[in-house]
């Protein structure tokens, strides 16, 4: 079973819900969307993400293997890769383009100028 989480609390995706889920599933391994370079900040909870807090809590209750699976990328490199990915999605999916246009229209309509 694969379970994914979000980076910040939103709606029903809360730290408490993730703690409950991990306690119920009692996984043997957690694959972490975090690079090995910043792993110590993740493990001590100082990076402040929802996942980090939940993992610290889970490790206090269960023996679990942690496997970081992200690469450390510079912001410019990451942005370039993201832009390339979305360009490829746009080329392959007319439906994505429709949804993107609708999103921009809704955002423009409901955005309050500052």
In a domain, 4, yes or no: no
What is the tens place of the pLDDT at every residue in 33-86?
777 777 788 788 787 777 788 888 888 888 888 888 876 666 677 778 878 888
What is the tens place of the pLDDT at every residue in 80-104?
887 888 889 889 999 989 988 988 8
What is the distance between the alpha carbons of residues 34 and 9, in angstroms, rounded to a whole number? 18
pLDDT at residue 7 tops 50? yes
Q: Are residues 55 and 93 in the same domain?
A: no
Q: Are residues 37 and 60 in the same domain?
A: yes
Instruction: Supply the range of the domain harboring residue 20.
Output: 15-70
Q: Are residues 81 and 53 in the same domain?
A: no
Q: State the pLDDT confidence band at 111, using cuts at 50, 70 and 90.
A: low
Domain count across the chain = 2
Q: Are residues 58 and 96 in the same domain?
A: no
Beta-strand pair 29-35/65-70: parallel
What is the distance between the alpha carbons of residues 54 and 45, in angstroms, rounded to a whole number? 9
Output the pLDDT for position 56.
84
Residue 31 is encoded by which pair of tokens?
A: 């694959």
Q: Are residues 31 and 62 in the same domain?
A: yes
In a domain, 10, yes or no: no
How does DSSP assign 81-110, residue by residue?
HHHHHHHHHHHH-HHHHHHHHHHHHHHHHH
Q: Are residues 22 and 62 in the same domain?
A: yes
């Amino acid at each position: 079973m694969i379970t994914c989480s979000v980076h910040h609390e939103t709606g029903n995706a809360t730290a408490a819900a993730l703690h409950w889920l991990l306690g119920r599933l009692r996984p043997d391994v957690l694959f972490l969307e975090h690079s090995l370079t910043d792993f110590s900040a993740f493990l001590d909870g100082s990076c402040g993400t929802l996942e980090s807090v939940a993992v610290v809590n889970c490790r206090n209750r269960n023996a679990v293997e942690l496997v970081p699976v992200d690469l450390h990328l510079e912001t410019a490199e990451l942005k370039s890769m993201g832009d390339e990915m979305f360009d490829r999605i746009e080329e392959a999916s007319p439906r994505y383009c429709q949804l993107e246009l609708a999103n921009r229209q809704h955002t423009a309509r409901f955005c309050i100028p500052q």
